[in-house]
Amino acid sequence: MPRLCAALLVIFALSLTVACDSGTNQPAGSAADGDAPKSTGGATDGAAAKTPDPDPAVAKAAFDEALQLIDAGRLQDAAGKLDEAIRNDPNLADAYVARGKLQMEHGDAQAGLEDIDRALTINEELVAAYLARAAYYESTGDPADKAKAQADMTAVHQIRGTKPLPKEVQKETKSIFDKVLKTDSEVKP
First to last CA, the chain: 20
Who contacts 71 (Cβ-Cβ below 8 Å, separation ≥6)? 32
User: What's the confidence (pLDDT) of residue 32?
Assistant: 38
pLDDT, one tens digit per residue, over 27-75 is: 344 333 344 455 545 444 444 456 668 899 999 999 999 999 999 999 9
Q: Give 19 or 39, the one with higher predicted confidence.
A: 39
Rounded to an integer, what distance in angstroms lies between the CA atom of residue 172 and that of residue 156?
15
Per-residue CA distances from 6 to 37, 40, 126 (Å): 18, 26, 20
Q: By the 8 A CB rule, do 133 and 159 touch? A: no
For 155-183, how does the pLDDT look when each residue is reduced to its tens digit (9 = 90+)? 988 998 877 766 655 555 555 556 555 54
DSSP state of 185: G
Q: What pTM value is reported for the model?
A: 0.69
Q: How far, in Å, CA of 121 to CA of 184, rounded? A: 31
The contacts of residue 47 (CB under 8 Å, 6+ apart) are: none
Among 139, 120, 117, 124, which residue's Cα sits nearest to residue 5? 139
Quote the CA–CA distance of 145 and 135 in Å, as a whole number.
Answer: 10
What mean pLDDT, rounded, does the chain reach? 75
pLDDT in tens, 113-142: 999 999 999 999 999 999 999 999 988 999
| Euclidean distance between CA atoms 34 and 76, whole angstroms | 8
- At residue 162, the pLDDT reads 77
SS3 35: coil
66, 29 in Cβ contact below 8 A? yes
- The predicted structure's pLDDT at residue 167: 62
Pick from 26, 37, 29: nearest CA to 8: 29
Q: Are 131 and 176 in contact (CB under 8 A)?
A: yes
In whole angstroms, what is the distance from residue 37 CA to residue 103 CA? 7
